[in-house]
Structure 1
Amino acid sequence: MTQVTARLYKQGDKVWRDFKAELITRYENAAILDISESEAFSKIEKQEFNNLIVVSKKAIVEKRAVAGADNRDMPSVALISSIKAVNKRGEANRKKYAAKVAEAASKSKTLTEVAKRVGKSRPFIQAVAKEFQIKLPSRNNGREEIASR
């Protein structure tokens, strides 16, 4: 498995600091470490602990090792920033079209007509209307909209 460094382990009145051990199992707030190769523990202590100890995740220095076996479950900083940039662009785009959607909604009888006048898709029109509380026509291509939508 992965070798990690533990800052602190306390058992009774004994304290071990800054020792290396193998990561065996991860839990929500703790991890099981194999101390059989660790030099910090004596042979007798290793036998007493059965070569395994349970340590708090806070006591482990390598946070990525206890967060997941691989880094795929942790999104990269670049990915997070690009998602935020896309969200901001989408927000700005919806603001830009809010006035057009409001004007088209007042002149149209159906949602499809509003979408054609604005030149955008129906889901986009609905998103803009929801965000800026614009009342859309209650008819959709000749059929009544379901009241719950």
Structure 2
Amino acid sequence: MTQVTVRIYKQGNKMWRDFKAELIKRYENSAILDISESEAFSKIEKQEFNNLIVVSKKAIVEKRAVSGIDDSDILKTSVNNGLKKISKKRKEARAKYARRISEAASQCDTLTDVAKRIGKSTTFVKRVADEFKIKLPRRNNGHEEIVSR
């Protein structure tokens, strides 16, 4: 099925660290692993455990495998497509605000007046103006803006 890496497994007074095993079944807080191909266990230990061990999910390094997500490629593409749709909508919204900001900037004397007229914060107005290269008033709330910021 899926190969996972176990950080630590303790049985009695023996301890095994950082070994690979095949994931057979997932439970709520643990998982059954097949250790028949694992090199960390001796032949006798594999026979004692019947080639199976139950490990806590906290001890497994690959969290995706034990949380029930086997096809990580499918997940990545669906998440990326969703993010592209969201960013496209946001860009369209910023373009709509850019038109309003350019109109307000030509009519207002201060940056805060522009922000009030549009109904957004001054930081949002600055960000959209930078993105769409809109010239804003140099005065901020009646005071000359410091150029170094």
Under a length normalisation based on structure 2, what TM-score does the superposition of the two structures give? 0.50
- The amino acid across from 2:50 in the alignment is N
Instruction: Report sequence identity in percent.
Output: 69
CA displacement 1:9-51 (0-9 Å, x = unmatched): 0111111000011111112221110001111111111111110
Which residue does the alignment assign to 1:70? 71
Amino acid at match of 2:63: K
The CA deviation string for residues 95-125 of structure 1, in whole angstroms up to 9 with x for no partner, is xxxxxxxxxxxxxxxxxxxxxxxxxxxxxxx
2:28, 2:89 → 1: CA distance? 31
Could you tell me how far apart the structure 1 residues matched to 2:54 and 2:89 are?
A: 42
State whether structure 2 residue 23 is matched by structure 1 residue 19: no
Stretches of structure 1 that go unaligned for 5 or more consecutive residues are 93-149
Q: Structure 1 residue 31 and structure 2 residue 26: aligned?
A: no
Q: What is aligned with 2:108? A: none
Classify the secondary structure of the residue corresponding to 2:37. coil
How many Å separate the matches in 2 of 1:79 and 1:45?
47
Q: Residue 3 of structure 1 corresponds to which residue in structure 2?
A: 3
Describe the shift of the 1:79–1:32 C-alpha distance in structure 2 as closer, same or farther (beyond 3 A): same
The number of residues matched between the two structures is 96
How does the TM-score come out when normalised to structure 1? Answer: 0.50
Structure 2 residue ranges without an equivalent (≥5): 95-149
| 1:28 counterpart letter in structure 2 | E
